[in-house]
Each structure stands twice: as C-alpha cells, then as structure tokens.
Structure 1
C-alpha cells in the first residue's frame, strides 16, 4: 500500500505522528474511563506507568490528558495526581466523547439513549422546518428524499437516510441545530444501519419519510411533527424488537 504521507516534509510528518499518538492515548484512556475501568473519584496511574503502558513520551501523554481534561473527564492537581471527575461533569455532547461512548456502552442502552434524544428534538425540528425552510434547504431535502426512493441497497439507503435527517435539521434555519446534526452524525449512521438491517426490507420506512417530506413541503407544521413522531415510533419498535 502506498504511503499517503509521502512527500510531506519531516517536520509536518513528525507533527502528524505526534498528533496521532496523543489522539490514540486519549481514545484508549477515555474509553477505559467510560467503560468503568477507572471509576469517578479514582486516581489514574502515575505518569511513568501510563507512559510505559502506551509507549509514549511524557509530552504525548500530557497532551492526551489535557484532551480528557477539556472534555470534563479528569482533573489534575499538584501533589494529588489525576482523578476521574464525577460522571455528571463529563461532556458527552462532544463529538469524540459521543463516539467513544457508543463503542463501549451496552448497545441497547446506547441505542435507546440516542433514540430518546431524537424523540425530544426531531419532531419539533420537522415542524420548525415547515416554517423556516428556504429554497436551498428544500432542494437539499428533496435530493435526499429522491436518493432514498432510488436506493438499491442498505449502504445507499443509509447514506440517503442520514442526509435526510441532517437536512431536516438544516431546514430549521437555526444555527444551533446544525452542529447538533454534525455531533450525532457518526452515531446516528450506526443506528440507521442497524434499523435498516432489522427491517423486513432495508427501505421499509420509506412511506414514513415521505410523509415527513410532504408535510415540510406543504408547510404543515402539525403534520410534519406527527409524521416525524410516527417515523421515530417505527425506529423505536425496531430497536426494542
């Protein structure tokens, strides 16, 4: 396999490797905490032990620890060491954290938590989109819906399904909802793929998506809210089934 980093100057290559190392350590320590290997209130091993465990320098380790500190997971104090913070301090609405959590949480537990979040947000977002969408947003939503109609396999369906839900959030014209879509994108894709595989056919929920799309086009807020609730009800039934 060709080295994709060929041609990069040595200083840049060293930076990339350094960044990759501290990202790996942050991921492994972060998932260990999320998994419960280090419970809230407990101390992490000393720096020397962690450096040996991960085979990294003190600089790399400290960058990884700063990453976890910024996500609310740990706190370091002189003469006390590094302790795991209470769970309520963890920023699970961080893209990395949410992705890490999806990797270690019991699958059913995580799927239902994500589903609860969607049920609180998406029906209202669909209603809001009926009032706030412009021609550009509607065009993107229509394109996503057409891709769902044309999908020939699970992969095509999941890509179009994910884009459809992100387009609904974008059509709200609320700048705070768009980052939310980006935040849950990776974990939502996994849930959509699982739901498609559990259905009788991968596009079994096309009619429910079409109802959402039709209501948004018609600017019928109540119909859009109800259609999205119905769609999410189908999703929940597949998760629990």
Structure 2
C-alpha cells in the first residue's frame, strides 16, 4: 500500500528531437545535395521547439563529421561527398539507416569496394588458416539457406547478415590487423549495398554461385582466381543496383601473377 506521505514517481523527461538525426536523414537520402543550404538555426528552433544552443550543438555533430560547413552570415551548407568523414562510426551508422535512396553514395561505396576487396580476397587466398575457411564456409552456408527460404522480411534480413559475414570473414582471413579492423569500420557500408542488391537481384542463384567461386578460390589457395572472383561478385552487386562501377578501379589495370 502506498504511504500517504510518499511522493509520486517523477515523470521521465521527454527526449528532445535530434536535429542532427533529422538533417542526417535528409542529407543522406539526397533531399539536400552538396552545395545546398540546410534550414537556418532560427527556423529549426521554431520547427522543433528547442533552444538555439541545442540546435547549434546538433549542427556541430554534422560539422565534426565533415557533412556540413558553417558560413558566417549565410548558414550551414552541405559539403561535397569527398569531404565527408565516411569512415567515422557515426557517419557509417547514418549511412546504413538513411542512405539507401541515394545512388551517388552507393556508387562511391561500390567504387571503393572494387578497389579494395579483390586485393583482400587475393591476400586471404595466400594467408587464410583453417578457422578462417570455416568462418567463410559457415557464412556461405547461411547465405544459401536463407536464400532458399527468403519468403519474409526476417529471412531476407538473415540472408543479408550472412552475406556481410561472408565478406567480413574474408577481410579477417588476411591476418593483417589493419584489414581486420577496417572490416568492422566498413561493415555498415557493406551491409548497405548487400541489403539493397539482394532485394533487387534478378537471379539470386547466380549471385550465390559467384560467392561459391570466391570461397573455393580462397580455399584452394588460388590468389589470382580469388581476385577475379571478388571482382565478379561486386560486378553482380553493381548490376543488381543498376550502377556503373566506373573505369578507375585499381583492379582493372593491375597485372595479376
């Protein structure tokens, strides 16, 4: 029984709206393009009913991430994609949640992966140990299982998770501390392309076969084949997303052993 002298529990304060999240969603979705000005501080204060210091604090998050710049007397302008701190954990989190509709960002991520992942696969084919091969194979088995059963959103999510785990396992199989750490940083951006491409793939079985060839090339210690197989996997991703991967990728001009 509650004592008549006891005080009622204090209500939890309501979390204020996050201007950083609101603007990040709009910018990553492409509603504000590089060179565009975002709403002024006073407009944001009125719209979200918060004070100016809170608005400035949230805008500072976007400034620190390299996404916007403050121009005295004019406001805040979206910077060019090349200026964004794309590997910052906060930026990659925003990218995963909000960037799906933006083909420009997808194209940039794809170009980077085309530059990097064939070399990673080639190194993994030289250095992978037994436990690495097990991790790659387990991810591949999960990929195939969830592909065959992908009749609902949860199974499609599991399919994408296994696909990401497959690529991360290859990074770790290089036994290079930088590549291994980079796989954690890149995980959100890999997930972005994987989830989008898996939803729009014309022939999922072909994609699964490309992954199998990559796995077997690493397992059989064939660096050159692993390099080319990784390129084929990413070419399939580009095709599923309707993106042109471009001609500047490093792997197009390298002479393989």
Same fold by TM-score, threshold 0.5 exceeded? yes
Structure 1 residue 153 corresponds to structure 2 residue 119: no
Report deviation, 1:104: 5.4
Aligned match for 2:115, one of 120, 140, 150: 120
Of 191-200 and 207-216, deviating more is: 191-200
Checking the alignment, whether the CA contact within 8 Å between 1:132 and 1:172 is kept in structure 2 is yes
| Residue deviations 1:132-185 (CA, integer Å, cap 9, x gap) | 333433332121122223333332432211210111112222333334433443
SS at match of 1:84: strand
The count of corresponding residues between Structure 1 and Structure 2 is 225
Report deviation, 1:80: 4.5
Aligned match for 1:223, one of 206, 212, 225: 225
Structure-2 change in CA distance of 1:200 and 1:124 (3 Å): same
Aligned match for 1:141, one of 136, 142, 146: 136
* Partner of residue 200, structure 2: 198
Structure-2 change in CA distance of 1:229 and 1:42 (3 Å): closer
User: C-alpha separation between the residues in 2 aligned to 1:10 and 1:166?
Assistant: 46
Checking the alignment, whether the CA contact within 8 Å between 1:74 and 1:82 is kept in structure 2 is no
* Partner of residue 91, structure 1: 85
Structure-2 change in CA distance of 1:149 and 1:82 (3 Å): same
* Partner of residue 5, structure 1: none
* Runs of 4+ in structure 1 over 6 Å off: none
User: Structure 2: any 5+ residue segments left out of the alignment?
Assistant: 1-8, 151-155, 244-257
Checking the alignment, whether the CA contact within 8 Å between 1:157 and 1:203 is kept in structure 2 is no
Structure-2 change in CA distance of 1:51 and 1:204 (3 Å): same
Report deviation, 1:64: 0.9
TM-score (norm 1): 0.74
Of 134-143 and 27-36, deviating more is: 27-36
Checking the alignment, whether the CA contact within 8 Å between 2:32 and 2:78 is kept in structure 1 is no
User: C-alpha separation between the residues in 2 aligned to 1:70 and 1:200?
Assistant: 40
| Residue deviations 1:24-74 (CA, integer Å, cap 9, x gap) | 31022234455364864858513x432222222344323312211211234
Checking the alignment, whether the CA contact within 8 Å between 2:100 and 2:192 is kept in structure 1 is no
1:1-241 paired onto structure 2 within 5 Å: 18=15, 21=16, 24-33=18-27, 35=30, 37=32, 40=35, 42=37, 45-46=40-41, 48-76=42-70, 80=73, 82-84=75-77, 86-87=79-80, 88-98=82-92, 100=94, 103=98, 107-151=102-146, 152-154=148-150, 155=156, 156-240=158-242
Report deviation, 1:10: 7.5
Report deviation, 1:223: 1.4
RMSD: 3.4
TM-score (norm 2): 0.70
Of 213-222 and 96-105, deviating more is: 96-105
User: Structure 1: any 5+ residue segments left out of the alignment?
Assistant: 1-8
User: C-alpha separation between the residues in 1 aligned to 2:107 and 2:67?
Assistant: 23
Checking the alignment, whether the CA contact within 8 Å between 1:44 and 1:84 is kept in structure 2 is no
